[in-house]
A = this chain, B = another copy of it.
Amino acid sequence: MSRSIMGAAAQLGPIARSDPRKEVVARLISLLREAHGRGAELVVFPELALTTFFPRWYLEDPAEIDAFFETEMPGPETLPLFEEAKRLGVGFYIGYAELASESGARQRFNTSILVDRAGRIVGKYRKVHLPGYDAPQPGRTSQHLEKYYFQPGDFGFPVWRTMGAVMGMCICNDRRWPETYRVMALQGTEIILVGYNTPDDHTGDFDFDSLTGFHNQLSLQAGAYQNSTWVIATAKAGLEEGSRLIGNSMIVAPSGQVVAMATSTHDEVVVARCDLDLGTLYRKTIFDLARHREPRHYGLIVERKGPVSPPEEG
């Protein structure tokens, strides 16, 4: 029996700082309905999908910062999205800024949740690989302060069996790190869901920055292929508060082939049938991990955080 799931990447165009949550949620619901109308059973929204990408600014006022964070999910403003998804019988992934108060301490995470077709939150992930800096960098028009606003995720990379598949989540920069996909592959993941906000000015060096779209696609294709998994990757895109965010939301097969891609930097839905058995041939041959991996030679991956080079010559 063929197992498959209709997946959708529901890309968002820009969100202005002044856009109220309610309006954003209305856009999400509109995308959800469009995806459902095209047969989608699982919809992937972007990272930090409820607000503008605020880590581009250095803010100090706690109240101002708090305004970008959710203290409950769903909350009053996001509940309509949950209700509509449940009514339509569509599962979804969405990213948001989480203000947690576990064990009494206030903690901030860049978080995503997985909601099943009955409207239940079945999984939560907190972004592990925070890019950028923990303090403003001089000379940059647009900052990248995720290490200032968030703590690294403390859940690792769990996977969930839900909606007939084994699913994992990651967020934005996580997708560039091969460890992300591999840890999920070692738990049998069949679909990886990822949202992102990716400005095209990472370094200010045009030789590098002009490759932003290529690097996004390369990372997603390699992660899918090397781990025999589907990847559904969704951007917040377009010119947002002066920052240019790439689009290119895409669905990638376990073959590494891009089977659907957004062509705009606006609100846009792309849909593809994800045959969960497509990865099986890969998992049984060239990527039969249990037959071919040699973990005794991988020790440095966990023993070292950064590189140690051999001594200089002579």
Residue positions of A touching B, CB distance < 8 A: 128-131, 152-153, 156-157, 159-162, 164, 166, 173, 176-179, 181-183, 185-188, 202-203, 205, 207-208, 211, 214-215, 218-219, 221-222, 225-226, 255-257, 281-282, 285-295, 297-313
Top 8 A-B pairs, shortest CB-CB distance: A290-B306, A188-B309, A222-B222, A178-B178, A156-B297, A161-B310, A186-B300, A289-B306
* Min CB–CB distance A217 → chain B (angstroms): 10
Contact between chains at B301 and A179 (CB < 8 Å): yes
Pairs across A and B, CB under 8 Å, 17 listed: A160-B310, A166-B309, A173-B286, A178-B179, A178-B226, A182-B301, A183-B300, A183-B301, A188-B309, A202-B286, A207-B255, A214-B256, A215-B225, A218-B225, A290-B305, A291-B306, A301-B302
Contact between chains at A308 and B187 (CB < 8 Å): yes
A-B contact sample (6 more), CB < 8 A, given A177-B292, A222-B222: A129-B293, A161-B310, A176-B226, A183-B301, A218-B256, A289-B307
Contact between chains at A131 and B290 (CB < 8 Å): no
Contacts of A177 in B (CB 8 A): 226, 292-293
Cross-interface CB contact of A295 among B211, B287, B304, cutoff 8 Å: B304
Contact between chains at B307 and A187 (CB < 8 Å): yes
Contact between chains at B159 and A310 (CB < 8 Å): yes
Contacts of A131 in B (CB 8 A): 286, 292
Cross-interface CB contact of A299 among B211, B257, B302, cutoff 8 Å: B302
Contact between chains at B295 and A188 (CB < 8 Å): no
Cross-interface CB contact of A226 among B219, B281, B291, cutoff 8 Å: B219
Contacts of A226 in B (CB 8 A): 176-178, 219, 222
Contact between chains at A202 and B161 (CB < 8 Å): no
A303 to B296, CA, bound (A): 9
Contacts of A152 in B (CB 8 A): 294
Contact between chains at A203 and B300 (CB < 8 Å): no
Contact between chains at B176 and A179 (CB < 8 Å): no
